[in-house]
Amino acid sequence: FDHNNPMASASKRFHGDSEKTSFRVLPAHRYTGRFPEYKQPVEVNSYSIDGDRRVWFDNRELKYYAKPQLTPATPSLSYNYDRFIQRDETIPEHIDTLLDALTDAKSKNEVDNHNTNADIITWRGIMTKLFATPFSRNEPWELRVTRHKGTIYIEEQQTEQKRISETSKNERQKIMSYWGYQFEAMCTTSEPNGDAPAVDETLEPPNTNVQYCVVVRTRLGNSSVIMGAEVDCIEGLKPGNGEGSPLKQYIELKTSRRIDVERQQISFEKYKLLKFWAQSFLVGVPRVICGFRDDDGVLSHLETIKTLEIPRQVRGKQNMWEPSACMNFTDQFLDWLKTVVTKDDPEVTYSVVWKEPWREISITCNGKKDTFLTQRYLDGKVS
Ligand code: A3P
Ligand code: MG
Ligand code: MG
């Protein structure tokens, strides 16, 4: 019995017509050691979503990084909270824009379809959750999966529990998640080489309808992976096609509690740095700019964190995370997924559920239900 081999711990049970299979998440140290291959991600396409949630295959919503000048007069990150414009998250969008972006990319390079095909197609956010799973405590996830022409598509499964926790957020929690968006508003402009905007009544309030997204292709161990990901901003002009990779110019913006005491340092390294690293590493974004704030949302300073240097900052520390475990776990999970998601039919979906640490990930076939690949994608059309 080989504990390092996920197939050895995948048990198979049958419940009437619905086949149930599971994958056991082992303690994190069982996944550490050698790194699986991770190819340098390549940008396959990019697109903008405007304030009306219309998709444009251009850079109109790409923002440029502009360093904010912090002074004692700089308002807290709660500024403009009363003007916050939020996307209506009750409208499910599935992976529609990612699929459209792939169709668009296919139409632009008819000769070479290599870049628009992969074993796995999903959002970067889902891959981030998979990376964090061996170290995760109270963050269960539910995925919906479908197989079409050999490719596994993964989306997030909306659950009643998630809907409830989202709607039952208290005012404090709402303001704290606003701070991240206000930080983005303070640090970005629509003009290349523009100054950081003044934080006064001329500042546009954050609008989460607006997004700039990239589609990247890479390989993790045994699986080629295409991911859609939102990019916060770029430094410098975006190179045109064939002018080199734009990925190395992108910057991920983050906010975090200013570190005053050791407990905050540990929490930052253990939880925040894992998420920072996984999110940006996955799509090849080399820098995270973090705004450190106090409990009132007042920024004290900014720090540039190099994505590839993050693991070194936590290496060898007690009860920390390790990048090799994130990558080996995800590689093995995707391997297992490919063997259990067998019905190659875009109408058939599977639910993949993970509830708690040390527990099994279970998969159930839903039959021809909750189909999420769009007809226009299957037809090879964008609209
Ligand atoms: P912070 O990460 O600085 O808190 P991202 O950093 O991924 O670009 O996301 C931008 C902001 O969206 C986050 O900024 C946070 O405010 C909000 N956000 C993202 N994911 C969230 C989640 N799961 N719950 C609450 N807020 C979230
Ligand atoms: Mg973002
Ligand atoms: Mg960000």
Segment 150-156 shows an average pLDDT of 98
Above 50 in pLDDT, residue 4? Answer: no
Q: Which of 119, 192, 188 is nearest to 151 (CA)?
A: 119
ipTM confidence score:
0.95
Q: Which atom of ligand 1 is nearest to 178's Cα?
A: 16
Of 110-124, 133-147, 297-311, 314-328, the range with the lowest mean pLDDT is 110-124
User: Which residues sit with Cβ closer than 5 angstroms to ligand 2, an ion?
Assistant: 230, 232
Segment 224-244 shows an average pLDDT of 96
Integer Cα distance of 25 and 360 in angstroms: 6
Q: Which residue has the higher pLDDT, 381 or 166?
A: 381
Segment 270-286 shows an average pLDDT of 98
Q: What is the DSSP letter of 242?
A: T
Backbone angles phi, psi at 95, to 5 degrees: -115, 25
**249 Cβ contact list (under 8 Å, min separation 6):** 234, 235, 236, 238, 239
Integer Cα distance of 285 and 230 in angstroms: 11
Integer Cα distance of 62 and 226 in angstroms: 21
What is the distance between the terminal CA atoms of the chain, rounded to a whole angstrom? 51
Q: Which of 60, 32, 65, 63 is nearest to 47 (CA)?
A: 60
Q: Which of 239, 180, 190, 178 is nearest to 66 (CA)?
A: 190
Q: Which of 215, 211, 148 is nearest to 181 (CA)?
A: 211
- pLDDT confidence tier of residue 20, bands split at 50, 70 and 90: low
Above 50 in pLDDT, residue 374? Answer: yes
Q: Which atom of ligand 1 is nearest to 253's Cα?
A: 6
Q: Which of 178, 254, 268, 285 to mutate to test the pocket of ligand 1 (most atoms within 8 A of CB)?
A: 254
Parallel, antiparallel, or unpaired: how do β-strands 55-56 and 42-49 relate? antiparallel
Coil, helix or strand for 100? helix
Q: Which of 166, 171, 177, 210 to mutate to test the pocket of ligand 1 (most atoms within 8 A of CB)?
A: 177
Q: Which residue has the higher pLDDT, 159 or 216?
A: 216
- pLDDT confidence tier of residue 17, bands split at 50, 70 and 90: very low
Coil, helix or strand for 319? coil
Parallel, antiparallel, or unpaired: how do β-strands 287-293 and 250-257 relate? parallel
Amino acid at 352: V
Q: Which residue has the higher pLDDT, 5 or 231?
A: 231
Amino acid at 160: E
Beta partners for residue 148, in sequence order: 151
Above 60 in pLDDT, residue 97? Answer: yes
Above 50 in pLDDT, residue 124? Answer: yes
What pLDDT is recorded for position 162? 83
Parallel, antiparallel, or unpaired: how do β-strands 12-15 and 18-24 relate? antiparallel
Parallel, antiparallel, or unpaired: how do β-strands 223-230 and 120-123 relate? parallel
Tokens of 55: 């998709």
Above 80 in pLDDT, residue 6? Answer: no
Above 60 in pLDDT, residue 183? Answer: yes
Above 80 in pLDDT, residue 67? Answer: yes
> Ligand 1 pocket, 232 CB below 6 A?
yes
Integer Cα distance of 206 and 183 in angstroms: 9
Tokens of 336: 């297992």
Percentage of residues in the chain with pLDDT exceeding 70?
94
- pLDDT confidence tier of residue 224, bands split at 50, 70 and 90: very high
Token pair 């916060």 is found at 232
Integer Cα distance of 291 and 273 in angstroms: 14
> Ligand 1 pocket, 193 CB below 6 A?
no
Q: Which of 82, 73, 66 is nearest to 199 (CA)?
A: 73
Segment 176-181 shows an average pLDDT of 98
H-run or E-run covering 156? strand 151-156
Cβ-contact 185, 204 below 8 angstroms: yes
Cβ-contact 100, 93 below 8 angstroms: no
Above 50 in pLDDT, residue 151? Answer: yes
User: Which tens digit of pLDDT belongs to each residue from 71-96?
Assistant: 999 999 999 999 999 999 889 999 99
> Ligand 1 pocket, 239 CB below 6 A?
no
Segment 306-332 shows an average pLDDT of 97
> Ligand 1 pocket, 177 CB below 6 A?
yes
Which residue's CA is minimally distant from atom 13 of ligand 1?
Answer: 180
